[in-house]
Structure 1
């Protein structure tokens, strides 16, 4: 049964909506637009617009991307990077003529100028997997609304006027939502077309000022009518003597006419003020700071760094999120089951904030110091305040430090009784420094076995090699030492099973603290 709300929405999708062009108004149905070409053309005629779009599209295209397999925990830090997949190969080289950087830059130009970016997917007729991605001009794409399914497909308008139908899974659309049309996008340029025209025409007027006569126009009044020959002679003589920059401000001599000045001076037109106002309006539409387009007036190092961080956070990240959504929700599902649990993500372009990080570390260190003073173990304190593992001392080592600090004169006598190497402890007691975490355990102190925090677990069967058997149950003081023999936590470096076609099944695990 059809929802009444959906029925009303589909009915509205077929209703023409008013479209306002620069010259006149008329009605267009949903999904139709005729202003995209003019918006893209504006980039080549207005310097401020070119600078803004060039910077935003470049910043978006230069960011690196990776493919990840999601973790069950849902946390980004627990994901596993995927280095080999057809979708990753396609994103690295979308088509035979474009690397990813140029592909993303072209797409972002379209989005910034028109509010829309379009990708057309190329396939081999024998397969459904995407093999190519092509960025397509927004003015050549038309969505086809459907009263039942909302969207039936798309039509590509070729350069020669041909109309090519495309299925839903042949096209990926990226857009800034248009409040008047759910099928099309709306970009910043649409809101400042009048200002873009004013900037363009003011530049053309200045150019014409120098090319025509170096003076704005006027009228030559002749008391009696002129025949064609006399008119042509007067016009040619005037152009010859006064047209062009070299003839600017020459005195005009008229035999049978009177000059009537009809000009507005450049000061009257206020072109400098007009262009400054237009540039400001364009920057405001994009949310672009002056510093980002090369205006470094009244800019110091602190404000420049803040502007760079703001540009990355407020302008680059939202554009990357739009591309990320298209990759994960539109492109990856086309690869079927092989893409289950995968997601694209970008390397954050936001520069680190040293001041904020220092404040965070200071707060964490203060909290750790308070907890440690309250008697909690160092390892538990680090986990509680969110600091990384720093080879924290075990309870036995904490006792060792207390002995050295509290009774340095008797430490050389007590330490050997506890099974520690005297040289390291003696060095610590003589310098006042804390003993190293790597003090050697003596054979006379089996009770200090608890200080060893990592243990080897080997799978023992007929396929287990002798080095792995010998190292089963071996203890390591910390993860750094354990990972030297078991890189990444598994696979013994001295395993010889590979020589017989067997993969090492040994690993190191963290021991439970008693």
Structure 2
């Protein structure tokens, strides 16, 4: 079966590929498990719904990434970002805004980011019409269903998708786009933060389950009933059923127990305080946040947060968490998706809108510095229109006359003063010549 699938992929590959300088897989390597397999990917994804801290982290990062807007640009010959021209109509832009008829871009990106944060990778499968090379749809698929087909000479031959009913579908290289966090042990798969905290995730889940079972199933008073005589079967069953009826469950907790047959009660109860589950769950929550590099405020813990720190927290979240994820998506769009459009994609690039909120304090200081610089240049006799653009201010209709000074500085001196003001430096007083 493996040879049949591998042969199908090799036969469908139409473009020549460059051999790798060194082999990344063994001669006997099969596609079935990759280098190290991906058997735990499903468990990593299931962990999101098992541990609240992990859910909060993945939910916030994926939502923040999905809410950012995107634009398509035509690159400028100068290479400067500010000289680019926005492209508002293009097949690639339409595909990115609506990857398939069942999900908009926001849901597509959110689903992809969930896979990335939980398994360290996400794969997009490209759909085309027969005889058409241009992509028509994109679908995010579960990473545990995607298996790479390593090749000793060309690094990667293709992919195999395993459907829920076990059907294996071979896919060519241009039918799959993979985004991954590099794995130091496996060049074909991503590395998940979940793998580094599996014991902590299990501890958190078991602690929650134990706490729940304590209230649902604890038969207080708890311990051992010691009976000095041998009970008949019907006597044993009657005592067991009566005990469960009177003491099992939350509603029956702490009721007085009455035992018969000369039985004695031996207390074997372990309290919640002894187990210290509050501290235990707090420690596991910290370990999970450390693995993802996320502080408390990022998941809603707002102790000692004021307006200033809240604004700083938003900027930190965008810079440290959202932008890195957006950069991976940007790289995939520009380096893998746009080339699929051939000449139609030449000279174009996708870019995201900056998610970092503006710093109002810095903006006010810059505006003041630019205004002072413009005033100094106008007073020195420079053209107001050219002066505004020179210091980074928008063109404003000028209807007055420049103010005069008793001793107007030389044009070069005025320019030096303006530059010094923009840089936030204090210019030394020049000696009169």
* Interval containing the TM-score (normalised by the shorter chain): 0.7 to 0.9
1:175·1:184 contact (CA, 8 Å) conserved in 2?
yes
2:207 to 192, 202, 211: 202
Count of residues in Structure 1 that have an aligned counterpart in Structure 2: 387
Residue 353 in 1 paired to residue 359 in 2?
Answer: yes
2:20·2:153 contact (CA, 8 Å) conserved in 1?
no
1:289·1:307 contact (CA, 8 Å) conserved in 2?
no
2:41·2:143 contact (CA, 8 Å) conserved in 1?
yes
1:68 to 73, 77, 80: 73
Counterpart position of 2:47: 42
Cα offsets for 1:473-498 (capped at 9, x unmatched): xxxxxxxxxxxxxxxxxxxxxxxxxx
- Cα 1:259–1:5 change in 2 (3 A) is farther
C-alpha deviation, 1:164, in angstroms:
1.4
2:283 to 277, 282, 290: 277
C-alpha distance in 1 between matches for 2:127 and 2:151: 24
Counterpart position of 1:268: 274
Counterpart position of 2:7: none
C-alpha distance in 2 between matches for 1:359 and 1:89: 40
- Cα 1:191–1:12 change in 2 (3 A) is farther
The 5 A counterparts of 1:280-291 are 280-291=286-297
C-alpha distance in 1 between matches for 2:21 and 2:237: 70
Counterpart position of 1:505: none
Cα offsets for 1:382-424 (capped at 9, x unmatched): 4543444445699xx66xx65xx88xxxxxxxxxxxxxxxxxx
C-alpha distance in 2 between matches for 1:46 and 1:333: 40
C-alpha deviation, 1:377, in angstroms:
5.0
C-alpha distance in 2 between matches for 1:4 and 1:171: 20
2:122·2:179 contact (CA, 8 Å) conserved in 1?
yes
- Higher RCO (CA 8 Å, separation ≥ 6 residues): 2
1:13·1:30 contact (CA, 8 Å) conserved in 2?
no
Q: Please give the secondary structure, in 1, of the residue aligned with 2:46.
A: helix
2:20·2:155 contact (CA, 8 Å) conserved in 1?
no
2:127·2:135 contact (CA, 8 Å) conserved in 1?
yes
C-alpha distance in 2 between matches for 1:117 and 1:141: 9
Counterpart position of 2:321: 315
Counterpart position of 1:104: 109
Q: Is 359-368 or 57-66 further displaced after alignment?
A: 359-368
Can you give the 5+ residue segments of structure 1 that lack an aligned partner in the other structure? 17-27, 407-514
Residue 292 in 1 paired to residue 298 in 2?
Answer: yes
1:209·1:215 contact (CA, 8 Å) conserved in 2?
no
For the aligned residues, what is the CA RMSD?
2.8
C-alpha distance in 2 between matches for 1:280 and 1:152: 41
C-alpha distance in 2 between matches for 1:210 and 1:344: 54
C-alpha distance in 1 between matches for 2:366 and 2:339: 40
Cα offsets for 1:344-393 (capped at 9, x unmatched): 11111111111112222333344445555666554554454344444569
Residue 340 in 1 paired to residue 346 in 2?
Answer: yes
Cα offsets for 1:147-170 (capped at 9, x unmatched): 011111111111112211111111
1:213·1:247 contact (CA, 8 Å) conserved in 2?
no
Q: Please give the secondary structure, in 1, of the residue aligned with 2:22.
A: helix
Residue 328 in 1 paired to residue 334 in 2?
Answer: yes
Counterpart position of 2:416: none
The 5 A counterparts of 1:23-38 are 30=35, 32-38=37-43
C-alpha deviation, 1:237, in angstroms:
2.1
Residue 182 in 1 paired to residue 187 in 2?
Answer: yes
- TM-score w.r.t. structure 1 length? 0.69
Counterpart position of 2:239: 234
- Cα 1:76–1:187 change in 2 (3 A) is same
C-alpha deviation, 1:208, in angstroms:
0.4
C-alpha deviation, 1:339, in angstroms:
0.7
The 5 A counterparts of 1:23-172 are 30=35, 32-172=37-177
Q: Please give the secondary structure, in 1, of the residue aligned with 2:340.
A: helix
2:219·2:244 contact (CA, 8 Å) conserved in 1?
no
1:252 to 247, 251, 257: 257
